[in-house]
Structure 1
Amino acid sequence: MINESALLESKSLRDGVLERTDVLDRVKALSLLPDGMHVTTAMVAAYFDVGLEAIKSLVKDHRRELEANGYHTLTGEPLRSFKDLSGIQSRTRSLALFSRRAVLNVAMLLRDSDVARQVRVYLLDVEHASRPQPVEISLHGNTAFLDDRIDQRITHILGRTVVPMFNTLIETAGEHQRELIALRAGVQQVEKRLRQHHARLQRLEAPRDDRPLAGVMASMDAMNGREFEEHIATLLRRDGCTDVIVQGGGRDRGIDITALTARGQRLVVQCKRFAPHISITSPELQKFLGAAKVLHDSEVALFVATCPFTRDALNIATETGITAVHRGLLEEWSAGAALAVLE
């Protein structure tokens, strides 16, 4: 099997696996801008746990390859239009954007990142496992098929049949004993490598507490505003809320969803699908507070956002009894955890 470091050196190998962008979310959830297609240089650096300069330097050295895979820079009117679409609040005159394919490309070029290394290892293992199966072979006139567990079957045969056979031959061999011993050692080495490969696949596929939930936030980042509101409404129904109504449009009076909790309390929800680098500020909490308490006389109020809250905003939420569902809490809620305020 190809070593993960080979991807660092071979462009042809990289080109052959660039369609496997799903691997990114299996290793660590990749958050996207609201357009559902791109990330900024800062977001790429955060994903790989490296400094901003490391990504800029890599782009400088491999710009042509990255551009072929979706990296580009916006300026002028295209930049202004993109800012309006994505909600990015920045005065920069240019903005570098990476597609998911370009991010995967970065993972195959970035040397000093544990996350990038994990992506490369996972990428090669998944690619190896997805090679066409079954393979037709002939055994005593019968047709057999090697399934995706072929490595385990070969390991079993080598350990239980081939190696014992060599042991018997070596005991009775004369002048060819040395050659048989060398062949047995080779077979045992192959068996060992197959066991290591199988153990690594099991480790990569197994659930891990320290690995972010793959794709949970990425899927929400790809939603439009209405889809995000419907997603939150689904979570409310899952957790026992009734009379869940998505208001939508310009008639929501500062509220996106109304409902009754499982205990019959009046519930209102504000939904904000912002880019991860934007924060919910205190004026937004104050505006929601007025709508929730004055206009809707709510007993439970949720402000749900795909981004963080500023310290002042969190303080206001705590003081007024609003539940601030920030990005991390939203990920847990979407993955099955219950919100305490709804229990």
Structure 2
Amino acid sequence: MINEAALLESKALRSGVLERTDVLDRVKALSLLPDGMHVTTAMVAAYFHVGVKAIESLVIDHREELEANGYRVLAGTELTSFKEVCGIQSRTRALALYPRRAVLNVAMLLRDSEVARQVRVYLLDMEYMARTQPVDNNAVHSPVEDLNEHIDRRITHILGKTVVPLFNTLIETSGEHSRELVALREDVENVERRLCWHHQRMRVLEAGTPADAVGTSIKAMTWQAFERHVADLLRRDGCTQVVVRQARSDRGIDITGHTADGRSVAVQCKNRDGRWSVPSADMQKFAGAARTLQPADVALFVATSQFSSEAQAIADLTGIITIARDELEAWSAGVRLKALSGGSRTSGRAGPTPSA
């Protein structure tokens, strides 16, 4: 699996994932100029929460690579025409423009930005999942089946790459109507996940094997990849500011973030053999961290195994939501986690159900 350091250092590896510009809006809404295609240096800096000088310095060091991915500087009559088209009133004599591909390129080069790091993690998660998904080379599909699959995948692509990012942008600028837009976005994401779930179940049935592709993929993950996988599920279900700590000093909390309605989230992940049960000691440690050291509105304990009766009792007592192997596999396959939506209960088993 490609690691983050390799992605930062290798131009060839960066080039291999530059088509995945949709991850920008998955992590955070990217505001565009009125032409719907470009952003300025200031807009790039605002997206990554860094100063303009940091972006300008990065351009100096990697100008050739960025230009290959669409970065350019307008001046003279070309700039005048662009200002007229976009309605820009600035008197600047030159304007640097970045298409989405160049912005993603910046994300893979910018070291001192948490947003850029989250974009890289998202890319790595997608690359890992793509490499670990089982492939059935013997499956034979009719032209009609291939056409239906192509149409469904095209719909999924449009929902994920166009409609959801549009909702993200509207939510950031909507003010009093944000709650209604969040609800609409959730409906669209539910449709997208339902299509993904349908594809996976059909693949399993057509292959004629009881093996669960999702379970197999999760079982193959390292603990680091598993934490990134859970973080990706949080983002998919609308969570923002998702951070994977992956440090020895995490104080019992592996992932933090916020739900779409603003509640704080703390997550503990345990990637162990399915025959292993989460003991009460682990639950006590997480309860102390999520309820005392760093209080969270939503505390999730996600495990690839089951929970011991003592651990579950502590979870119920302290309001910890447990996500055992079966719930995790359903969540990974596209089922929305109720605990992350507004008005959900605050303790017990997660119990995800298929999104309608």
TM-score where L is the length of structure 1? 0.46
The structure with the largest alpha-carbon Rg is: 1
